[in-house]
Amino acid sequence: MQTDRGLVIARHGSVVTIRLLPRDGCASCSLTQFCIGSKESSPTVRATASPEIAQGDLVEVSLDDSIILKASAIMYGVPLVAFLAGVFGGYGFSSLAGLSGSLSMALPVVAGFVMLIPGIILSRRVAMRLNPTATVVNKLDQEVAICQ
């Protein structure tokens, strides 16, 4: 289970909005330019919290690993299945149509990439519906959070 530190910026009932603090290793990481968290000026996450957590508190949050696994499976699996469906569909169509030569090889590849586009769109829509919510693990002292 991955944990991050952040500052509570809003509270609505049992749900808080947390602005995540940058990690120590982010400044020296060579992949910083590709990381979504480093591109946003202040990445935020929603989390469930106990009533004693208030706006302005420094907290440690965790996101269940199963949500990350589900999102990864959706974001990679759905486009892969769509691509393969296009390839096999294009191959079946070229066989039924009696195409030969380079056209019979090109049609499955083109159909695969054409089907990849709706697969990517569908995977993004399904992943957005996951609506992951983190959990506040504990409240941190301000000196401890700043020093570490």
pLDDT digits (tens, 9 = 90+) for 50-82: 888 888 888 888 877 787 788 889 999 999 999
| Number of residues that this document lists for the chain | 148
Q: Is 21 within the bounds of a domain? A: yes
94, 108 in Cβ contact below 8 A? yes
Residue 16: strand, helix, or coil:
strand
The pTM score is: 0.61
On whether both 84 and 42 belong to a single domain, the answer is no
Distance CA 134, CA 122 (A): 24
Is the predicted pLDDT of residue 147 greater than 50, yes or no? no
Q: Is 13 within the bounds of a domain? A: yes
Number of domains in the chain: 2
Domain that holds residue 11: 3-63+132-139
Report pLDDT for 93. 92
Beta strands at 134-140 and 44-48: parallel, antiparallel or unpaired? parallel
pLDDT digits (tens, 9 = 90+) for 21-51: 876 666 666 555 555 554 545 677 888 888 8
Q: Is 147 within the bounds of a domain? A: no
Q: How many CA atoms lie within 13 Å of 121's alpha carbon, on the beta-carbon side?
A: 5
Per-residue tokens: 119: 């697969």
On whether both 14 and 26 belong to a single domain, the answer is yes
pLDDT digits (tens, 9 = 90+) for 76-125: 999 999 999 999 999 999 989 888 888 888 999 999 999 999 999 999 88
On whether both 77 and 45 belong to a single domain, the answer is no
On whether both 83 and 56 belong to a single domain, the answer is no
On whether both 21 and 35 belong to a single domain, the answer is yes
On whether both 75 and 114 belong to a single domain, the answer is yes
